[in-house]
């Protein structure tokens, strides 16, 4: 992931939620100076157990009605 994407992911970490505006600026300023590998490790640690999934991997919900077919019912039942 690019550093910009890592920093966006870090914005969703629980440790950031309680910071003041100044605290957030200092936090992200410090993290923006890190090399990519170190930043990735810190982001992974901050998001561990959080269930974070990058937008790139999120499948958009299709429009319209969805219906489970008989074959789908069987697949779900097994």
Please state the three-class secondary structure of 14-30 as a single string. Answer: HHHHCCCHHHHHHHHHH
Residue 40 confidence (pLDDT) above 80: yes
Q: With 0-12 CB in 10 A as exposed, 13-18 as middle and 19+ as buried, what is 28?
A: middle
Residue 4 confidence (pLDDT) above 80: yes
Closest C-alpha to 7, from 30, 21, 50 = 30
Query: pTM value?
Result: 0.64
Residue 17 confidence (pLDDT) above 90: no
Q: With beta carbons less than 8 A apart as the criterion, state whether 16 and 24 touch.
A: yes
Radius of gyration for the chain, computed over Cα atoms and rounded to the nearest angstrom: 19
Q: What is the mean pLDDT of residues 23-49?
A: 93
pLDDT band at 24 (very low <50, low <70, confident <90, very high): very high
Closest C-alpha to 31, from 48, 10, 45 = 10
């Amino acid at each position: 992931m690019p550093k910009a994407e890592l920093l966006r992911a870090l914005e969703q970490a629980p440790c950031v939620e309680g910071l003041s505006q100044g605290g957030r600026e200092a936090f992200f300023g410090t993290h923006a100076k890190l090399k990519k590998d170190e930043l990735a490790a810190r982001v992974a640690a901050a998001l561990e157990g959080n269930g974070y999934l990058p937008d790139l991997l999120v499948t958009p919900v299709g429009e319209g009605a969805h219906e489970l077919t008989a074959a789908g019912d069987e697949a779900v039942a097994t």
